Amino acid sequence: MMAVLGQTSIVMAQEPVKIFALQGPDVEPKADQPELNDPNIYGISWRFRWANIEPAEGQYNWSPVDHTIAVTSKAGKKVMLRLTAGINSPEWVYQTGAKPFAFKNTDLYHPENHPPEIRMPIPWDEVYLAKWEAFVQAFGKRYNGNPTLYSIQMTGGGYIGEMNLPKAIAKWEQVGYSDDRLIGAWKRIIDTYQRAFPDTPTNLDINEPLGNRSNVLGPVVSYVLAKYPRKVYLQQNGLKADLPRDDHIRRILREAASQTLVGYQMVGGKGFLEKQTGDRMTAFRNALEDRVSYIEIYTSDVRDPGQRGALQSLTTRPERK
């Protein structure tokens, strides 16, 4: 990037972007996965469902996560780890009193990826929050400070990993939705992660939960930047070629880049929302403009020979004038 001091221009080499190969949920790692031996790949992004890690209250099955960390570490890569609640919450959470929020897949941006009828716990429900806090504390007790971990993704206030909620506005109003309630839930979740992982960075996948019907994103971002600078990374999970430069989320990331690390996850990849994602080189240029430190790229793109040039453009050290 260029720094201007008076009339003098100083051109500095841009740091290479760290590429994380994004795996599907609950994928079992294999030592011969191409991305584990790919020099362009800094780390692997693994995702697991809460329901599969704690199938019964207080009974944890950490073996998939342990195996994932061991395989990735042996390959000399870092791990970005995301354990998701929301629609991936275990059945026992509802049986112990957490209030469910039922909705249809048409309330989501990509209904074809979900069954017609879905439910998730109401994010500010006290029973749900207590159960999720207990899980995050157990999660941190086992993995905080693990040297293979690059970061832990903070989930729990949205329907999967991001802050997004299903756009069933009338139903949210019926269960007492308010911006303050959701902001309070997110602050509580974020604080829980920071207590559980004092020695490991965390990520928040940002978005306005209900689009123009909510005002939650700004207060939550301000909270983490003020209270946990450089401890909470900010990212957005919708990088694509036609993302306008004046997009609100892009502005947030650019402004936050001086206070913490920022990153993106691709909106899709080869065989999954490929048309919406668009030209990868163009998408990556958008990310570089927003001063990102890392990008989660779907494994299908990472393994695609046709995308090698685009990936390598992130890992070189170009001079930008």
Q: Which helix or strand (DSSP H or E) is residue 256 part of?
A: helix 248-256
Helix-then-strand count for the chain, H and E: 12, 12
Q: Which domain holds residue 149?
A: 18-315
In a domain, 178, yes or no: yes
In a domain, 116, yes or no: yes
In a domain, 13, yes or no: no
In a domain, 75, yes or no: yes
Predicted structure pTM score: 0.92
Q: How confident is the model at residue 294 (pLDDT cuts 50, 70, 90)?
A: very high
In a domain, 10, yes or no: no
Per residue in 60-96, pLDDT (tens digit) is: 999 999 999 999 999 999 999 999 999 999 999 999 9
- Report residue 97 as tokens: 């009193």
The yes-or-no verdict on residue 8 having pLDDT over 80 is no
What's the number of domains the chain is made of?
1
CATH code of the domain containing 293: 3.20.20.80
The yes-or-no verdict on residue 109 having pLDDT over 50 is yes
In a domain, 237, yes or no: yes
Per residue in 11-37, pLDDT (tens digit) is: 333 579 999 999 999 999 998 999 999
In a domain, 192, yes or no: yes
**Structural contact between residues 315 and 9, judged by C-beta atoms closer than 8 angstroms:** no
First to last CA, the chain: 7
Residue linked to tokens 């997004």: 164
Strands 232-239 and 43-49: unpaired
Angle between helices 126-143 and 179-196 (to 10 degrees): 20
Per residue in 234-255, pLDDT (tens digit) is: 999 999 999 999 999 999 999 9
In a domain, 249, yes or no: yes
Alpha helical stretches, state H, 101-162: 126-143
Per residue in 114-131, pLDDT (tens digit) is: 889 999 999 999 999 999
**Structural contact between residues 265 and 228, judged by C-beta atoms closer than 8 angstroms:** no
